Structure 1
Amino acid sequence: MKIAFYGSSLLSSYWNGAATYYRGILKALAAHGYDITFYEPDAFDRQQHRDIEPPEWARSVVYPATEEGLRGVLARAGDADVVVKANGVGVFDRELLEGIVEQSRPGAMRIFWDVDAAATLDEMRGDASHPVLKALPQLDMVLTYGGGPPVVDAYVDFGAARCEPIYNALDPETHHPAPRDSRFSADLGLLANRLPDRESRIEEFFLRPAAALPQHRFLLGGNGWDDKGMSENVRAIGHVGTGDHNAFNATPRAVLNVARDSMAQVGFSPATRVFEAAGAAACLITDAWEGIEQFLTPDKEVLVARDGQDVADILSGLSEERAEEIGAAALKRVLAEHTYALRAEQVHRIFQQHRARETA
């Protein structure tokens, strides 16, 4: 089966946190025999900050972020058996969604793959003309990378024929334990781009404990933090390419995950960083959100903080030995239950079920 996938970027994680999710899912689907073409616009300087070259398991098409470029790639939607539009491409999102509905061939599976479902649903509640709301009757299903029952129920209530969460996971060939690297030495590390719907939570869970613990070293990776006020014990190092993620996660005594506002409110939305950190056997501290125990066991495989004071208390009492125990337990759990190979099996079953119903 041929898959045409229209997303933000497969080749670059620059201002594109979904990159490792796309890579993990699509690489694993290719192992099931799917012929995958990924269409991404040349936008936001992503092509100047590539993390990978075009992979063997997917055909990469980078198109100009122009109306002519858009028409060119949408014209190829009719060649595919499965046509996917992911949210958050950043340019022509409405036109891409309308285009896959209009230009996919009869009988093709049409899918909206939502990597920020909580935010999309909030938009739909406030906008009766939202393009996703308009497209739902013509879509065969919605897949999301999180959200659990609240997101599934909301999408079904809006008219989705089917909604299935396909959670983030680990590709152990890409993210794995690595030697410590002095570039990333710290007591607590955080990898997060500066985004409006997460900044206040990062202030609370990262910058506040840093200010309260001047004797500890804090490391902040990600775009957009250059002009942010922070205490002297915080070292902001800018964009960290995916090739350095293993060392970034393996070097600090602990690493922090901070959910975006909407994902924290809905729950059941582990970020890619959760599984990347666990895959590197890092000791992960995460902000509290509903459903965490579905993925990692609190106090055994992950440490959970309700606020910045909790982060400070956890870090103050965290020994190297305890951190290593938690990291090792997390790695064991994700290898057993949360790999992209397992997620791809889930997607493959969903596709087979749909085709069986359509041909029955």
Structure 2
Amino acid sequence: MKIAFYGSSLLSSYWNGAATYYRGILRELAARGHAITFYEPDAFDRQQHRDIDPPEWARVVVYPATAEALAEVIAEAAQADVVVKASGVGVFDDELLEGVMASAAPHALRIFWDVDAAATLDEMRGQADHVVRRALPKLDMVLTYGGGQPVIDAYRGFGARTCIPVYNALDPTSHFPVPPDPDFQCDLAFLGNRLPDREARVEEFFLRAAALLPDRSFLIGGNGWESKAMPANVRHRGHVYTAQHNAFNCTPLAVLNVARDSMASIGFSPATRVFEAAGAAACLITDAWEGIEMFLTPNEEVLVARDGQDVADHLSALTVERAREIGLAALARVKAEHTYALRGAQVDEILSTQASMLSAARLERA
């Protein structure tokens, strides 16, 4: 099928944590015979910070963030068998959702793909005229980045016909163990952009742990932290390109995952970083959230912390041997159960099933 996918960016992970998620799933769909066109705006300096060139498995249309260019890419939705609007494009989000779904061909599957479902649902609860609430009756389905049954129930409660979580995963061709890099040497590393709904949790789980362990070394990577006051034993790295993720994960004694507020509250939403770290056989410490056992086993494949004190305690007790044991166990688990090959097969089956159901419904009406 021809898939028109309107998202934030396939080419750049700059202020765009969903990039590796899009790449992993869409590459697998292309391998299964689907023709992918990805539409992304030239915005937020992402094109100046590309991680990859346009891949051979997708046609990438980078359009100016103007009303005129928006109209042109919306019109192209009419050529697709599957039209996907992802959340969080960053510019013209409302206009894109309404426009591409209206432009879609009568036979096309219409999908909203929510990569921050908990936050979107919070907005929908407070806005009766929210664009997604208005669009749901006309959509064939909602796919989400995660969220488990709570997100499924919430979307169905708002009128979604179908809601299916498609979780993050590992691409073992891009994230894997590599030799350590002295630039990333430390006891604990954290990678994530500075966002309003994450900052307080980073203060608790990362910066508090650093303050509790002044004799240990800490490294923070990601955009926006340069103006943040931090303990003296914390180094700020700035943006870490995708090609550097393996060394960033492999070099420290341990790496930390900190969920955003909405994802932590609803659970069942492992960040991309969880699988990237596990794929590099890193020893991962994560903040506590419901559903972690679906993905990694606590104390065997991951260490779980309730607060900064727990992070400090884990790090104090951690030996190189124990860290390696946890990392290798996590790597084995994600390669067996959580790869993008498996997620791609899941989405391929979803599209096939939904297209068959839609075709049957049309024949019945005819």
Query: Which of the five TM-score ranges fits, normalised by the shorter chain?
Result: over 0.9
Give unmatched runs, 5+ long, in structure 1.
none
Distance 1:290 1:69 in 2: 42
Distance 2:264 2:359 in 1: 40
| Aligned-CA RMSD value | 0.5
Does residue 312 in structure 1 map to residue 292 in structure 2? Answer: no
- SS of the residue 1:62 aligns to: strand
- For the 8 Å contact 2:275–2:334, the answer to whether it is kept is yes
Distance 2:351 2:71 in 1: 27
Distance 1:304 1:208 in 2: 16
Give the number of equivalent residue pairs.
360
1:290-325 Cα offsets, whole Å, 9 max, x none, are 000000000000000000000000000000000000
- SS of the residue 2:26 aligns to: helix
Q: Which residue of 2 aligns with 1:230?
A: 230
Distance 1:57 1:25 in 2: 11
TM-superposed deviation, 1:155? 0.1
1:302-360 Cα offsets, whole Å, 9 max, x none, are 00000000000000000000000000000000000000000011111111111221233
Read off the aligned partner of 2:171 and give its amino acid letter.
Answer: D
Distance 1:324 1:331 in 2: 11
Distance 1:81 1:355 in 2: 9
Matches within 5 A, 1:192-211: 192-211=192-211
Distance 2:201 2:349 in 1: 37
Q: Which residue of 1 aligns with 2:22?
A: 22
Read off the aligned partner of 1:228 and give its amino acid letter.
Answer: K
Distance 1:296 1:29 in 2: 26
Q: Which residue of 2 aligns with 1:183?
A: 183
Distance 2:324 2:249 in 1: 12
TM-superposed deviation, 1:145? 0.8
Q: Which residue of 2 aligns with 1:38?
A: 38
- SS of the residue 2:227 aligns to: coil
Q: Provide the identity percentage.
A: 73
Does residue 321 in structure 1 map to residue 321 in structure 2? Answer: yes
Q: Which residue of 1 aligns with 2:337?
A: 337
1:229-283 Cα offsets, whole Å, 9 max, x none, are 0011000010000000000000000000000000000000000000000000000
Q: Which residue of 1 aligns with 2:56?
A: 56
Distance 1:302 1:28 in 2: 27
- For the 8 Å contact 2:204–2:308, the answer to whether it is kept is yes
Q: Which residue of 1 aligns with 2:299?
A: 299
Read off the aligned partner of 2:222 and give its amino acid letter.
Answer: G
- SS of the residue 2:344 aligns to: helix
Matches within 5 A, 1:1-360: 1-360=1-360
Distance 2:159 2:60 in 1: 32
The list of structure 1 runs, each at least 4 consecutive aligned residues, that deviate by more than 2 angstroms after superposition, is none
Distance 1:318 1:221 in 2: 22
1:209-229 Cα offsets, whole Å, 9 max, x none, are 101101100000000001100
- SS of the residue 1:146 aligns to: coil
Read off the aligned partner of 1:191 and give its amino acid letter.
Answer: L
Distance 2:356 2:101 in 1: 21
Distance 2:39 2:295 in 1: 31
- SS of the residue 1:183 aligns to: helix
Give unmatched runs, 5+ long, in structure 2.
361-366
Distance 2:357 2:121 in 1: 28
Read off the aligned partner of 1:355 and give its amino acid letter.
Answer: A
- For the 8 Å contact 2:74–2:100, the answer to whether it is kept is yes
